[in-house]
Amino acid sequence: MEVSTMILIAVVVVVVLYVIVIYNNLVGLKHAVSQAWSNIDVLLKQRHDELPKLVETCKQYMKHERETLEQVMKARSAVASARQAHDIGGLGEAEGMLRLGLGNLFAVAEAYPELKANESFRHLQARITGLENDIADRREFYNASVNANNVRIEQFPDLIVARLLNFAPAELLQFDATEVADVNLGGMFG
């Protein structure tokens, strides 16, 4: 066998191995995004299951606050629909509605001393607040995973393999404008 043929075979083997390494790394990033989404999904499901208990506890005390309770349940439904449809954009918007509704609910609860003293309400409020914090942490992790995936499939030479093998960018979980805006505490208690 000639030296030039051996060099050509060696170059082809190196290129094939390099493509395999890139492919495996892209697959790992794609699955990291899926795993990060699954982590959010689990927490959203837990919160989805806890919210009716909180609303039911509040109903016993808040006879005149039906609109606030309905806002929370409507937003809960919107989050569930977006979650099931894997609609990242819709989920961000629905999350903003739900956080606003929960903020209003907890603010209104301040006017009901019997409700604030209720052990079940306090437990549910703490549970949901904890889930909210966990969801925020997982959203950050999800967006970091999406960013790593999207950067990698746009970098040379990875973009060649990504385009040939149809690796698509993932969508960041964006937040609704109401969620990042300053909270009007005076309006909540006024």
Q: In the chain, which stretches have pLDDT less than 70? A: 63-64, 175-190
- CATH, range 3-189: 1.20.1440.20
Angle of helix 3-59 versus helix 119-154 axis, rounded to 10: 160
CA distance 105 to 101: 6
pLDDT of amino acid 63: 67
* Token pair belonging to 131: 């889930």
pLDDT of amino acid 27: 95
pLDDT of amino acid 31: 95
pLDDT of amino acid 66: 76
pLDDT of amino acid 64: 66
pTM, entire model: 0.71
User: Under 8 Å CB-to-CB from 155, ≥6 apart: which residues?
Assistant: none
pLDDT of amino acid 188: 39
* Token pair belonging to 128: 């949901």
DSSP 46-102: HHHHHHHHHHHHHHTT-TT-HHHHHHHHHHHHHHHHHHHTT-HHHHHHHHHHHHHHH
pLDDT of amino acid 176: 62
Domain coordinates in residue numbering, the chain: 3-189
pLDDT of amino acid 91: 87
